Amino acid sequence: MCPVAVRVRAAAGWTNAGNPCTIDAPHPNPRSLPLSADPLAVVEAFFAARDAFDFERARALLADQGFSFRSPIAEFDCADQFIQYGAHASAIVQSVQVRKVFVDGPDVCHFLTYRIQISEKLSINAVQWTHVEQGRILRIETLFDASVYRELFPAPVAG
């Protein structure tokens, strides 16, 4: 497990309520799972595991060392913490539509539409750039308009 606490960023007033994100159960031994060298197959297997709420399998597809995730609202340098965050955040996701996929060597880029339910149903367009090395996801960068999240968690009123 990674000793680094979650860093949530971009939206003023957001906190992690002082709680670090960690996973209590060890993830499966990645050597015991069949891993593909094909970057698109790795990313699609990650999406399938995530969509099936199989977070142990999803974790096994992430690099143990050097993992990085960046988005407008969160950053993780620890795969275990990223999976814990994803397991928690998945409660608002109703569906994900893949609109377009591009592959360039170890890089896979998805144009996605997330259908989420917070207080009302919303569709959020996103782009996810994933970098795969040695059959494992090393880096994920996700870009989307995070204003809906900022509206939910506004900055504290000064005064």
Instruction: Quote the CA–CA distance of 151 and 69 in Å, as a whole number.
Output: 23
Mean pLDDT for the chain overall: 80
Q: Which residue has the tokens 């906190």?
A: 15
Band of residue 152 on the pLDDT scale cut at 50, 70, 90: low
Tell me what pLDDT residue 121 has.
86
Which CATH number, 3.30.1330.10, 1.10.10.10, 3.40.50.800, 3.10.450.50, labels domain 7-151?
Answer: 3.10.450.50
User: Identity (one letter) of the amino acid at 103?
Assistant: V
What one-character-per-residue DSSP string does 15-37 give? --TTPPP--SSPPP-GGGS---S
What pLDDT does residue 117 have?
86
* pLDDT tens-digit readout, 44-102: 999 999 999 999 999 999 999 999 999 998 999 999 999 999 998 888 889 999 999 99
Query: What is the structure's pLDDT at 35?
Result: 60
- Read off the pTM: 0.74
